[in-house]
Amino acid sequence: MARMSLDDKIGQMALAQPAEDLADAIRQGSIGGVLNLVDREATNELQRIAREESPHGIPLLLGRDVIHGFHTILPIPLGQAASWNPDLVRAGSRVAAEEASAAGINWTFAPMIDIARDPRWGRIAESPGEDVFLACALTRAMVEGLQGESLSAPGSIAACAKHFAGYGASESGRDYATTHIPDNELHNVYLPPFKAAVDAGVASLMTSFSDLDGIPATAHAGLLRDVLREQWSFKGIVVSDWESIPQLSIHGLTADDRESAIAAANAGVDLEMASDTYARHLAEAVRSGEVSMAVIDDAVARLLKLKFELGLFEDPYGPAIEDAQASRERALQIAHEAALQSMVLLQNNNDLLPLDTNGIDKLAVIGPLADQPYEQMGTWIFDGDPERSVSALDGLRALLGPDSEIVHLPVLETSRSREFVDLEAALEAARTADATLLFLGEESILSGEAHSRADIDLPGAQVELVQRLRAIGKPLVAVILAGRPLTLSNIVDEVDAILYAWHPGCMGGPAIADLLFGVESPSGKLPVTVPRAVGQIPLYYNARNTGKPPLPHTVVDIDDIPVRAPQTSLGMSAFHLDVAHTPLFAFGHGLSYTRFEYSNLEINTPQVAPGGSVQISVDLHNSGQRSAVEVAQLYVRDPVASITRPARELKGFKRVRVEPGQTVRVQFQLHTDDLKFWMRQHGWLLEPGRFQVWVGGNSEADLAGEFELIAGPNG
């Protein structure tokens, strides 16, 4: 630092894209990192130039979006969240880090941990869903998987928690839109996953494109300095999102790029991604006194510290980790297990599933997504190896073998197509088949960044295809591949079973086959609420009651309202006239091929003092004929508080395998710290009073109990 000029320091604050003059810029010391270059030979050469030819021999950060796998693609993060399995998520992140590291990458822009309550938002595919507790658990797992025990260890890369903060609350589910988040909601819902990332040692954070109360996050000193640096003691780096610094003037916060650079630097953004406002304006701003040298020195010190922690000064090239067959097979095994555990059985009328391999001589496989190894990998798969992706059709063929006839007819060229091809042949195949599998959903390009949808029904002519097949009168199994929860009200009564596969990654095909034919029982649980209609959005399980909550019996048929009826408050509660107030499928919902029964809830103490814990126990019984995994879930409500609290909040979960006829005692430890909430002007509060608890297989669990939090010695 003492030997560096002001220009040298500002150079470290630039994260550049590959360009023709990139090597010269590195020689001059005007670039501190490069993103989106994944050629190992090329990255090694740039690191050599940085170490041997730049003014101070400072190595480069080499960043890449490694969102849910590198060469081996795992389920989209929302799908992984449906596994409710932090250990598996950690293992998947480790595979991604090892493969990216072998390609020369030392930093990734993941995990994305924005709480998402609007399935119209395209980036819900990257999120851990709508719940704070689940998101925090998965955040820790992803950071630990990417960074390993040490950033300098072979196969470790620096993680970047994004987008700080509140991006998932984008108005109307439109990407990059403004957000309206009250302070209480910000601290109780949107910030905790980032605090979990900081506590897990995350190396970096990325600012959000969105704003908070009129201040874009990239220039929000209250977030970046007061919360992140002062309250949370974060020592890592803060990077802008792609060109989000010059966009400050488009927001209307600044007049031009110069003001934007000053605002971002003073707010606490250490590194500028893609754009060059720092390079063009910071030196002059320091000389004019609009940005202090201390701001620059602090940013550069953090950047250099990360490079030392990554071991780049000792070895800028990183270990040459071979993509050996054993490593590849291990990666595929983890991808397969992640796909298995991520899929959610939403519906299974008359126990249609699992299918019997011995009873299938002819199988009809219909729909646009049955044989799409690329589409099933989902969004953000820049480096995904399509050769590793096995489609559902190929997975079925491998499982059933040559003795079963599989008739495959896509009928629709893509998920968006409105014209049928070979429809009559598909209908005939369904008439004569022992079983019909219908692969529906949305292509990968319909979700992800800048791919928000106002209508989240099945696109194209898929609904009509379902209706035409239903008219045959034979059982139908729908497998949905999508990057978000889709509204399925227009097909839910037309099909007998629904397996929600998300975009399940490269091993989605074998996993789908294994689940459909009972090699394993589904264990996935929804990490988001599935609405009946777009008009219900936002719809999430942990909403507050309001003064007139909808009652279970509140149902009004709009056609039953008399013409010219006098104005009355129908139902006297918060509901829509034209759709039920309940979701189509609740948060935490997911069926199995067996039946689980919860009973005998016990709370070890009727009262607990601050700093103590409550042990909550239930019996979980498998009354069916199959061994299976259940995700037992603990929910809590604080019914009386200084601010109104959610009707229910997830506070614990456990994946438990239970054998047929077996009863397992499941125990949860609920610490009083888990009962705290944030209140403006008071910070985090723990208030005495009565707490309600529920345990069950989803957020509508009805096995209930309660305990009392008593006042501590200080009140």
Q: Can you tell me whether residue 141 is helix, strand or coil?
A: helix
Q: How far is CA 485 from CA 402, 464, 510, 593, in A?
A: 35, 20, 22, 22
Closest CA to 516 of 352, 335, 341: 352
Closest CA to 629 of 587, 585, 590, 670: 590
Closest CA to 670 of 624, 621, 617: 617
d(CA 385, CA 339): 17
Q: Is residue 353 classed exposed, middle or buried when 0-12, 13-18 and 19+ CB atoms within 10 A define those classes?
A: buried
Note the helical H segments in 409-472. 423-432, 462-470
E strand or H helix at 362:
strand 362-366
- For residues 592 and 345, the answer to whether their CB atoms sit within 8 Å is yes
d(CA 416, CA 412): 8
Residue type, 632: A
Beta bridge partners of 689: 709
Neighbours of 431 (CB within 10 A): 13
Q: Which of 118, 241, 270, 371 is catalytic?
A: 241
> What are the tokens at 129?
């869903």
Q: Can you tell me whether residue 446 is helix, strand or coil?
A: helix
| 222 secondary structure, DSSP code | I
The radius of gyration of the chain from alpha carbons, rounded to an integer in Å, stands at 27
**Active site (annotated) includes residue 241:** yes
663-671/677-679 β-pairing = unpaired
- For residues 504 and 339, the answer to whether their CB atoms sit within 8 Å is yes
Residues noted as catalytic: 241
